[in-house]
A = this chain, B = another copy of it.
């Protein structure tokens, strides 16, 4: 028997609660830069592309770019900065990647050494930043199509990314449980248009097939929302998308001497509208 899922768990209902939902990317980034906002970026700046972040020394840049190319679902590259330049010229030329994300993770030899809200003190002339599309960018399109779904969390899977040089590691996925199978099918269609922000799901249905043992045990990220969520119901269809929340997992696995990522949930907001980057 289906247990009633509370309407307040719906992603659309939650998105309306965010104080930054109607802000422009510039307003939002300014608040982040001044540390007025250090919380999650989820639901900020309605309609705009959010992005994950990876920063590596120049010596690792080719291999990381190749790793992204070989794994376009988890790591679709939107912009790559010149060495030492913190400004992403293609997607937000006025932004500064050292200050404009609410929270970062700094790794040394695969060990998390800091989780700062500003990385200016870590910046060096040889660092190259990769701005990588985030699937929260197509939630606007899903909600615009009146789809109803709940987000459970981000999980490490048993799918391995294709290695490139010194980069390898497991794929991490985000989850969306749709109220109906019809909504899940529509979400596959819509997200397929948004290839720059992960595109279509990598799996639908039984989480165990991709190595997720318990939906209540999200090991990479737990989204904001009313917890605990009602367990997945038989009438719901769950789908899993690759996510850049896997970047800290890669940094940890590969033991790169120095690497900075965003903190899951705390993304960069670009000046690009999701529709602007959609492939068709």
Which positions in A face B, CB cutoff 8 Å?
61-62, 65-66, 69-70, 77, 80, 90, 162, 189, 192-193, 195, 199-200, 279-280
Contact = CB atoms under 8 A, between A and B. Distances in A.
A192 B193 CA distance: 10
14 contacts: A61-B62, A65-B65, A65-B69, A66-B80, A69-B77, A69-B80, A70-B80, A70-B90, A90-B162, A189-B280, A193-B280, A195-B195, A195-B279, A200-B280
Contacts of A280: 189, 192-193, 200
A90 B72 CA distance: 14
A195 B162 CA distance: 20
A208 to B, nearest CB: 27
A63 to B, nearest CB: 9
Contacts of A90: 70, 162
Contacts of A200: 280
A209 B80 CA distance: 30
A166 to B, nearest CB: 13
Contacts of A162: 90
Nearest to A58: B62
Contact of A279 (B62, B69, B189, B199): B199
